[in-house]
């Protein structure tokens, strides 16, 4: 049996490792084309917006080395997948090679979303790969003025890291608070205040109209006419799943590869998807979801490795995301829904805290900042499916 895994980032690497850990003796081929990587294998992404960006001497080692893959009996192919033929069960690669497969795992992840208003020019960056982060690190010379476009988790991390390095940083975000999609308005407002107090210039409720400068960016123009001087612009406006190579494959695509609760691609026997590129029916919510966080990629890989080694397994996690900024670890378990009630159960929103969010009679989410130990009992309640009253009782 030959298993081909397309994508050598977190989801793909953890899948091949999981297959071997579960005793699979299949022939495994891992295909990777990470930009800037000599062998196509990605680096671990979370440090790229934090420690790696802040330390000019920091390296970004790959998630796994070619030697480690060889020791696992995994063949590494450094190439870009260009097409999938489900009929002949083959993956076509750039350069003409074709890989036949008995089972296929799509792990091509996602790419940064681009803004047409920010036409490509020197000084404008996205942040996805180690090469991207190294380019930002080089461009952000001493005194460089930085504009971060997007106030989600990545944008807020970038703003915090670069401001700690002494750069004047401005964040442009169309929504009224930072990180509001992941945290809700009340917690988002509290952390927005902290960024302001830390010296980050926030331009909220507005958007970018374009950039100024002939050959290199010199400023960012907002829709209200404001011009923000800039030497470096970093985009943090989300991602889009990498499914272009699957456009004519016959797979069902809808903002990702559409999968069932086992992460098996709908209507395609022996084809699975993991990580950012997977859209699956989540039993916990009954909704089709696509999740872009590190933890989900690892959990997806474990589920697919189990299914491919004869243990039917459903992917039904409690969502989890974390971010390091403002001098502490921010953790979110579950989903913070706009309509739900929020209660602070430890500390307060101006310091370290734990807050719970609930609706429809149940605990829906737990948020903690600089309170890892205090958050744990509420995480256990969430995993146990606690009612809202049980959560408030602690």
Model pLDDT for residues 60-90, shown as the tens digit of each residue: 889 999 999 999 999 999 999 999 999 999 9
Q: How confident is the model over 4-31, as pLDDT tens digits?
A: 999 999 999 999 999 999 999 999 999 9
DSSP output for 205-231: S--EEEEE-SSB--EEEETTS-EEE-S
Helix (H) or strand (E) holding 70: helix 66-71
The single residue listed with the structure tokens 């091509």 is: 108
Q: Collect all residues with Cβ–Cβ distance below 8 Å to 368 and sequence separation of at least 6.
A: 329, 330, 331, 346, 353, 354, 355, 374, 375, 378
Query: What is the number of helices (H) and of strands (E) in the chain?
Result: 9, 26
CATH topology match: 2-111+239-308 vs 114-235:
yes
Start-to-end C-alpha separation, the chain: 50
Q: How confident is the model over 207-229, as pLDDT tens digits?
A: 999 999 988 999 999 999 999 99
Helix (H) or strand (E) holding 62: none
Structure tokens belonging to residue 112: 């940064």
Structure tokens belonging to residue 305: 């490795």
Structure tokens belonging to residue 278: 């997977």
What is the structure's pLDDT at 171? 98
Position 40 pLDDT exceeds 90: yes
Give the mean model confidence (pLDDT) for residues 166-177: 97
- Map residue 339 onto helix, strand or coil: coil
Instruction: Calculate the average pLDDT of the chain.
Output: 95
Cα 181 to Cα 51, 161, 167, 215, 299, distances in angstroms: 25, 21, 27, 35, 22
Nearest to 355 by CA among 340, 364, 345: 345
Structure tokens belonging to residue 115: 């803004």
Q: Is 257 left (phi over 0), alpha (psi -120 to 50) or beta?
A: beta
**What number of other Cβ atoms are within 10 A of residue 71's Cβ?**
11
Q: Return the domain boundaries, the chain.
A: 2-111+239-308, 114-235, 327-393
Q: How confident is the model over 239-254, as pLDDT tens digits?
A: 999 999 999 999 999 9
Helix (H) or strand (E) holding 285: none
Position 381 pLDDT exceeds 90: yes
Say which CATH topology domain 114-235 has: FAD/NAD(P)-binding domain (3.50.50)
Q: Collect all residues with Cβ–Cβ distance below 8 Å to 99 and sequence separation of at least 6.
A: 2, 4, 29, 31, 77, 90, 91, 93
Q: How confident is the model over 93-151, as pLDDT tens digits?
A: 999 999 999 999 999 999 999 888 777 789 999 999 999 999 999 999 888 999 999 99
The pTM assigned to this predicted structure is 0.94
Cα 119 to Cα 141, 207, 215, 240, distances in angstroms: 22, 15, 11, 18
Dist. CA 273–CA 124, nearest whole Å: 32
**What number of other Cβ atoms are within 10 A of residue 87's Cβ?**
7
Helix (H) or strand (E) holding 232: strand 232-235
Structure tokens belonging to residue 123: 């000084």
Dist. CA 21–CA 140, nearest whole Å: 42
- The answer to whether the beta carbons of residues 354 and 343 sit under 8 Å apart is no
Banded model confidence at residue 276, pLDDT cuts 50, 70, 90:
very high
2-111+239-308 maps to which CATH number?
A: 3.50.50.60
The single residue listed with the structure tokens 């409720």 is: 205
Task: Give the alpha-carbon dihedral of 75, 79, 84, 89, to 10 degrees.
Answer: -20
What is the structure's pLDDT at 118? 79
Give the relative orientation of helices 10-21 and 294-308 as an angle to the nearest 10 degrees.
Answer: 40
Question: Does domain 327-393 correspond to CATH entry 3.40.50.300?
Answer: no
Dist. CA 135–CA 141, nearest whole Å: 11
Position 153 pLDDT exceeds 80: yes
Percent of the chain residues topping a pLDDT of 70: 100
Structure tokens belonging to residue 344: 């602070």
DSSP output for 195-206: HHHTT-EEEES-
């Amino acid at each position: 049996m030959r298993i081909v895994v397309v994508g050598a980032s977190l989801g793909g690497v953890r899948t091949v490792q999981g297959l071997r850990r579960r005793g699979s003796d299949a022939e495994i081929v891992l295909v990777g084309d990470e930009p800037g990587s000599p062998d196509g294998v990605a680096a671990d992404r979370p440090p790229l917006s934090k420690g790696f960006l802040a330390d000019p001497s920091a390296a970004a080692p790959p998630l796994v080395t070619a030697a480690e893959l060889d020791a696992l009996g995994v063949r590494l192919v450094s190439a870009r997948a260009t097409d999938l033929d489900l009929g002949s069960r083959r993956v076509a690669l750039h350069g003409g090679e074709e890989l036949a497969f008995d089972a296929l795992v799509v792990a091509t992840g996602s790419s940064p979303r681009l803004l047409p208003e920010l036409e490509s020019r020197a000084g404008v960056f996205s942040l996805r790969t180690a090469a991207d982060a190294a380019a930002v690190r080089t461009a952000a010379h001493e005194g460089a003025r930085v504009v971060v476009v997007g106030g989600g988790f990545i944008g807020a991390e970038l703003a915090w890291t670069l401001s700690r390095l002494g750069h004047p940083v401005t964040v442009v975000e169309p929504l009224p608070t930072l990180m509001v999609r992941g945290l809700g308005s009340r917690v988002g407002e509290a952390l927005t205040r902290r960024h302001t107090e830390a010296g980050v210039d926030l331009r909220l409720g507005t958007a970018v109209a374009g950039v100024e400068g002939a050959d290199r960016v010199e400023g960012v123009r907002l829709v209200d006419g404001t011009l923000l001087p800039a030497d470096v612009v970093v985009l943090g406006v989300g991602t889009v799943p990498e499914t272009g190579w699957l456009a004519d494959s016959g797979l069902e695509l809808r903002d990702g590869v559409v999968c069932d609760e086992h992460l098996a691609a709908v209507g395609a026997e022996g084809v699975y998807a993991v990580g950012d590129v997977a859209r699956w029916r989540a039993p916990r919510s009954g909704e089709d979801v696509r999740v872009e966080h590190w933890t989900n990629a690892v959990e997806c890989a474990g589920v697919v490795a189990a299914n491919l080694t004869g243990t039917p397994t459903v992917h039904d996690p409690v969502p989890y995301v974390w971010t390091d900024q403002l001098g502490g670890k921010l953790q979110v378990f579950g989903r913070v829904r706009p309509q739900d009630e929020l209660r602070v159960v430890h500390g307060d929103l101006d310091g370290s805290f734990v807050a719970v969010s609930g609706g429809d009679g149940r605990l829906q989410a737990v948020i903690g900042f600089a309170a890892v130990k205090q958050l744990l009992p509420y995480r256990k309640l969430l995993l146990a499916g606690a009612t809202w009253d049980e959560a408030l009782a602690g």
